[in-house]
Amino acid sequence: VESQDNDPTSLLNWTRSLIKLRKENQAFWASSQWKPIVTQGAPYPMVYIRECQKEAYLVVLNPTGEKKTVTLENISKAAVGEKLTPVLSQGKVEYKVIKNGDRLTMGPTSVMIVKIK
């Protein structure tokens, strides 16, 4: 525990960050809504939205050992060319708004949580 406590990238500190995010944001509470986003082709990355009246987060999971890219219909409502910064992430991830939608690029075994509202 001591070695993981001192490592900001450890599983222990990742879990602490998730717990903190859940406690501080109503979108992750039990009373919030969970909306799956259907992507074309393979089941991964898994994409869903957690939201309440005040806020919304896009959660993207890639548990595979391969890089995955998916384009979604403009979920973020951000400007074309803008790169959105995840609130939390593990692995190599990128969220960029392009002309045709939102492009999510996920490295192997990665996750990102992005505030969209």
pTM strictly above 0.75: yes
Contact 96, 47 (CB under 8 A): no
pLDDT digits (tens, 9 = 90+) for 54-113: 999 999 999 999 999 999 888 887 888 888 899 999 999 999 999 888 999 999 999 999
77 secondary structure, DSSP code? -
Nearest to 48 by CA among 60, 40, 39: 60
What tokens does 15 get?
A: 């879990």
Residue 96 burial (CB count, 10 A): 16
